[in-house]
Amino acid sequence: MRLTLAQIETFYWIARLGSFHAAARQLCVTQPSVSGRIREMERDLGYPLFDRSGAKVRLTESGKAIQAQAEQMLTLAREIQNEGSSDKLRGLLRLGVVETVAHLALPGLIRELNRNRPRLRVELAVDVGAELLRQLDDRQLDVAITTGAVASAGIVIRPLGDVDLAWMGPVSHPLAGQTLTPAKLVDQAIFAQSDRSTIGSAIREWFDTGGLVPNSLNCCNSLLVTSELVAAGLGFAVITPSIIRPDMVNLIRRFDADPPIQSRLMAIAALKETWSEEVEFIGNFVAGKFRELRALQ
């Protein structure tokens, strides 16, 4: 029996991406080639590596037992290949971010990665934090920048700082200059992301302090559209103030609230096998951009 690096790399990408087709695309080979490598690897090892009975292939217990060693071998191979080169981050990085990060930091981050890591291919996902964390846990993402991250097996988390949240409303609203309470806002139009989002849960928790449920809670999955609705004088929303566009700053104001809307911890979460100095760089860049814009306290 003599395993090849190509077989081990194929095994790694199927385990990471969850399908033979995705692994073939990543490796730039045909799907029959991928299937052949795994069939030969399983024959030489004497046991199956993947359960193919479902829509998404999953590692067998035997496959899980060798996953860490396969990752170590590929890491060592990359270190040898990268010796003397500063271009360490290459290949595919599946990055998920919440919308606040997308607005405030993503363009600069992608520009910086294109400049310094030209061999890296980034696949982006923008969604609410709960969905990004689900995808990370299912190995559909490699890195997620979000609030609400909780440590779990195989996932590394690094806090980036607290994200400022506040009630924002029209400058011309009759409540302007007043401190908002759940009782004052209960009959006002409220725009929010889904209840599963950080903002959705923040609004629910805030009204819970007054034992109230808003009478007009309107779901909008876009923070940009939400801010436009508030600027048009149609209601209130909880937003990170820094994402307000310059053309809206004279139409929207931050309101004091009692109790205050609590900030949320932003963190970068990554698969253990993906964590590297480059992932640290991504986290540092986002944290620095947020501090520059005063979105992180």
Residue range 165-189: average pLDDT? Answer: 96
**Of the given ranges (119-123, 211-215, 229-233), which has the lowest mean pLDDT?**
119-123
pLDDT of 86 strictly over 70: no
DSSP 3-state of 139: coil
pLDDT of 295 strictly over 80: no
Work out the percent of the chain whose per-residue pLDDT is above 90: 49
- Band (pLDDT 50/70/90 cuts) for residue 121 is confident
pLDDT of 29 strictly over 80: yes
| Alpha-carbon distance values, 276 to 36, 106, 166, 283 (Å) | 31, 19, 34, 11
More confident residue, 55 or 71: 71
Residue range 17-29: average pLDDT? Answer: 85
pLDDT tens, residue by residue, 211-230: 999 999 999 989 999 999 99
pLDDT of residue 297: 43
The C-alpha angle 166, 171, 172, rounded to 5 degrees, equals 140
More confident residue, 20 or 87: 20
Contact partners, residue 206, CB within 8 Å, separation at least 6: 182, 238, 257, 259, 261
pLDDT of 248 strictly over 60: yes
Which residue has tokens 């890296």? 120
Domains contained in the chain, CATH given? 5-82 (1.10.10.10), 91-162+264-292 (3.40.190.10), 166-255 (3.40.190.10)
DSSP 3-state of 171: coil
- Determine the Cα–Cα distance for residues 133 and 139; give it in Å rounded to an integer: 10
Highest mean pLDDT of the ranges 111-120, 154-163, 246-255: 246-255
Question: What is the pLDDT of the chain when averaged over all its residues?
Answer: 88
pLDDT of residue 90: 58
DSSP 3-state of 96: strand
More confident residue, 74 or 98: 98
